[in-house]
Structure 1
């Protein structure tokens, strides 16, 4: 299995990053609908938690895309897919429950990182005393530190932008749903996601790459690559989830775990 994964990763590395991004987006959006179909609200909640955790790890990897002048951190696509899941919860189960799921995701990510930091508190195995068969433990310890220790600033930035932008997304989505009497799904889906994405990009980028960064990125890179550059990608990502929103109506109707759509008068 290990060898198979290595071969697969090497094959993927030879493909343009844009192709991998499209594949990531397709898997993420399809995953939302599949989990919704078979597990209902529980599947959507699970996706939100997994996507936030995954995005917080992916952000540690930097990739050069042809459309950007500077390398950018990953995680945008996976995190953006949580807006589809949250919008589906708002649409079919109500804004009040969507807000609870936002806070649940926040608590899960926070608890996960606490567990990981406590894990690092265990004294590493002394390879010299334990024997050469435990040599892998030293490499694993170093890898875990490289992944987990830089997370504090990114974690604070990510969770702050997550809470602000997701609550704004739910409020806008529910507000537009009321104003259009439940019509124009494409409008509330795109407007709420695009506005929230701009806020998310701005807050996260300022905190992660300037305020909490050990080596802050230049202002022009921050504005044109991390805020406006990735925001343009977020607009495309938001527009591409519209077909999945409409497809969700059939998925919801055929799901054995569906419940009647919530009548939510609060935005």
Structure 2
């Protein structure tokens, strides 16, 4: 059910007479979709290839640079579900999934093409854009499952909380969604290549870092959600939504 919004984050039930969710034109939905897909692709292309570290008590903790920006995709995913509902978030997830597939295909083709005579950047290009098929598969599958779980939990919790306590939904959905993402990605990508305890340690560490990022960015989420709700003028509650992930209908 979708209803006009009166209160910024704690809406009161209002009549939805004359409001058709299937035909309503949202002013900023396309921009949020573009932001989601952009962050998704760039965090996988730019950040994934570079390991970096932080020093804690004199010890280096290595992590992938992409983890600094990849959680922004979950923040935007939360915003999408909160503002536009599960069905429209589902369309964006499928758009991101298709974009990831094309990125993997394009990277493979471009890296495989023979370099022109005189160009000596092939090795560096391969080190950045060359992809291990197993890791690519793990990344795409984990993204798909994690994002859908994140959006589903977000939408369900919004109904349970009657639209209140936004922080509980954003953090709660990220705990579950990122948990599913990590549980799929790290074993699928590295089991048998790394020691089992290393896979588990990295999986838990990265999950904690991503959830921590969500907590840190909660004030930003509140600002973005509040700004969009004021401008879109509707409140979406998925009380009659078909939650199948295998659809793009709104």
TM-score above 0.5, yes or no? yes
- C-alpha RMSD of matched pairs (Å): 2.1
| Higher RCO structure (Cα 8 Å, ≥6 apart) | 2
Cα offset for 1:253? 4.4
Equivalent residue in structure 2 for 1:227, among 203, 211, 226: 203
Determine if the alignment matches structure 1 residue 63 to structure 2 residue 52: yes
C-alpha distance after superposition, 1:172-213 (max 9, x if no partner)? 1111111111112111111011111122122111122225xx
Aligned to 1:138: 120
Secondary structure of residue in 2 paired with 1:65: strand
Secondary structure of residue in 2 paired with 1:138: coil
Distance 2:211 2:36 in 1: 20
Gaps of 5+ in 1: 1-38, 128-136
The 3 A distance-change label for structure 1 pair 228 and 122 is: closer
Determine if the alignment matches structure 1 residue 154 to structure 2 residue 131: no
Contact 2:36-2:76 at 8 Å conserved across structures: yes
The 3 A distance-change label for structure 1 pair 249 and 234 is: closer
Determine if the alignment matches structure 1 residue 198 to structure 2 residue 179: yes
Give matches, 1:243-254, under 5 Å: 243-253=219-229
Aligned to 1:84: 75
Gaps of 5+ in 2: 1-26, 244-250
C-alpha distance after superposition, 1:68-107 (max 9, x if no partner)? 7652223223221111111111111110110111111010
Give matches, 1:64-213, under 5 Å: 64-67=53-56, 70-127=61-118, 137-139=119-121, 141-210=122-191
Length-normalised TM-score, structure 2: 0.77
Contact 1:56-1:155 at 8 Å conserved across structures: no
Distance 2:103 2:140 in 1: 13
Runs of 4+ in 1 over 4 A off after TM superposition: 67-70
The 3 A distance-change label for structure 1 pair 113 and 201 is: same
C-alpha distance after superposition, 1:14-48 (max 9, x if no partner)? xxxxxxxxxxxxxxxxxxxxxxxxx7222221122
Contact 1:49-1:105 at 8 Å conserved across structures: yes
Cα offset for 1:121? 4.2
Higher helix share: 1
Cα offset for 1:154? 2.1
Length-normalised TM-score, structure 1: 0.72
Aligned to 2:215: 239
